[in-house]
Structure 1
Amino acid sequence: MLTRLRAKRDNLHLGLMLALTFSTGVVDAVGYLGLDKVFAGNMTGNVVILGMALAGADDLPWVGPLLALFAFMLGAVIGGRVLRPVKAGWATRTTWLFAVVGAVLAGLAIALFVMNGKPPQPWELIITVFLATAMGLQAATARHIAVKDVTTVVVTSTITGFAADSRLAGGKGQPWFRRAAAIVLIAAGAGVGALLLMLHIGWGVAVAALITLIAALLGHIAAHVKHTPAPASAPAPAETAA
């Protein structure tokens, strides 16, 4: 099994990044619906909300989106700094960073369960900061693994490529599966997150933590298992001259 994982490492990386895309949808649903209209992973959404809030539209919040934006950038800076010395792909540092993201999410889930509902201020903002920092760290780590079209946190560029490279646009072919899967999975994650929020705000974060930790484990195993090549067959004996 381990050898198969290593042999199909690119497919495994794609699957793991798609799983993290799903978990980001879950986290963003928790942030937007449970933490006062704040995205933890989709910074485009936060920038738009922030712009409308500063214009005074519909009494939108601006503190949460602003904190989330800077916290996400902080997480991305940490990820970029840690991974700078190693080549692109999965490495031990990659595993540790994903593990840190999973651990932070698990800790936040526990805190939300302890609070038994929507966290009061200032805890709501503190949880928002930690969620966004974790998502920034995840995004930077996923960027280092470099699975094309799958950033785990946004799908705008993926949707653009899916449409621009389609046959309707005159394209002759594209990696449609990974693009379609990323779009569908982040939406599915948001739907699951919204449903879990009806049970408790902590469940969505707990599910995202579990997915992230499993992804870190599988990626680490596939990257570090040693592949033993099949022994070369012995050369056929030379024919004896008559």
Structure 2
Amino acid sequence: MPKRDKIPALHAQWETVMMIVATFATGIIDAVGYLGFDKIFTANMTGNVIVLGMGLAGNDELPVMGPLIALAAFFIGALLCGRLLRNAEGGWSRPVRRFFLVEAIILLCAGLILLRVRLEPDSSVLYIFTFIVACVLGGQASAARKVGVKDVTTVVVTSTITGLASDSRMAGGAGQRSARKIAAVASIIAGATVGGLLHRIVGDGWGVIATALVLFAMLAADAVMTARG
């Protein structure tokens, strides 16, 4: 294959790598959110809907306001990012890179503040942090949609697992993109494991900071790859 023909394929592979890394970061922040933000998911909105429903059913140990705030913030973040990227070209474009940089900066600042703040259930501080984190994760989901890596949304893996099973050879399919799907599922599990460990050992602030550092590392690697052409 001529070198010029390899370039689009390499770009597509690199976009997939970036989205897998972002999925790993999502695993960290969602674990921190559930364990440290009073059972609130800041990325997995399906989980929030379930928690909200059980809370509305009168299960006192489950929150209602937190999931509602997370849902609203996620929607707002996705809306704003979708608006900002409306005219951007598809794929791993410069506007998408800029969004991920802004996301990393916001999460880093939130994590540093969280090191000095104690989150109490049903507190205004908890709800503020929930709104901020869920908002940027909604933006991330919108940005990932713009990148358009099939089967990797960065914030959920339900559809990825469905595709992995239904497209598999056991189901009569060709097993297309199986490696990518497995990597997406594995990355969010690994991220959640890291987030759970950070919550238990050093606290939630460091979990949020770790999420930001993963995104910074992703962008740094991308800058090196871009410089090399």
Q: Same fold (TM over 0.5)?
A: yes
Spell out the pairing of 1:56-95 with structure 2 (5 A cutoff).
56-95=58-97
- With normalisation by structure 1, the TM-score equals 0.86
Query: Identity over the aligned pairs, expressed in percent?
Result: 45
Quote the offset at 1:119 in angstroms. 5.3
Q: Tell me the distance in 2 between the aligned counterparts of 1:155 and 1:7.
A: 24
Q: Does 2:213 match 1:210?
A: yes
**Using a 3 Å threshold, how does the CA distance of structure 1 residues 33 and 68 change in structure 2: closer, same or farther?**
same
Q: Does 2:27 match 1:20?
A: no
Spell out the pairing of 1:90-239 with structure 2 (5 A cutoff).
90-115=92-117, 117-118=118-119, 121-198=123-200, 199-219=202-222, 222=225, 225=227
Quote the offset at 1:13 in angstroms. 1.1
Q: Tell me the distance in 1 between the aligned counterparts of 2:204 and 2:70.
A: 18
Provide, for residues 175-197 of structure 1, a one-character-per-residue CA deviation record: whole Å limited to 9, x for no partner: 11110011111011111100001
> Given that residues 40 and 128 in structure 1 are in contact (C-alpha distance below 8 angstroms), is that contact kept between their aligned partners in structure 2?
yes
- With normalisation by structure 2, the TM-score equals 0.90
Q: Tell me the distance in 1 between the aligned counterparts of 2:54 and 2:197.
A: 28
Please list every run of 5 or more consecutive structure 2 residues that lacks an aligned counterpart in the other structure.
1-5
**Using a 3 Å threshold, how does the CA distance of structure 1 residues 57 and 148 change in structure 2: closer, same or farther?**
same
- Rg larger for: 1
Query: Structure 1: which amino acid aligns with 2:211?
Result: A
Q: Secondary structure at the match of 1:182?
A: helix
> What is the count of residue pairs matched by the alignment?
223
Quote the offset at 1:45 in angstroms. 0.4
Quote the offset at 1:166 in angstroms. 1.2
CA RMSD for the aligned pairs?
2.1
**Using a 3 Å threshold, how does the CA distance of structure 1 residues 212 and 166 change in structure 2: closer, same or farther?**
same
Quote the offset at 1:46 in angstroms. 0.4
Quote the offset at 1:92 in angstroms. 2.0
Please list every run of 5 or more consecutive structure 1 residues that lacks an aligned counterpart in the other structure.
228-242
Query: Structure 2: which amino acid aligns with 1:128?
Result: T
Q: Secondary structure at the match of 1:8?
A: helix
Query: Structure 2: which amino acid aligns with 1:65?
Result: P
> Given that residues 50 and 61 in structure 1 are in contact (C-alpha distance below 8 angstroms), is that contact kept between their aligned partners in structure 2?
yes
Q: Secondary structure at the match of 2:115?
A: helix
The equivalent residue for 2:3 is none
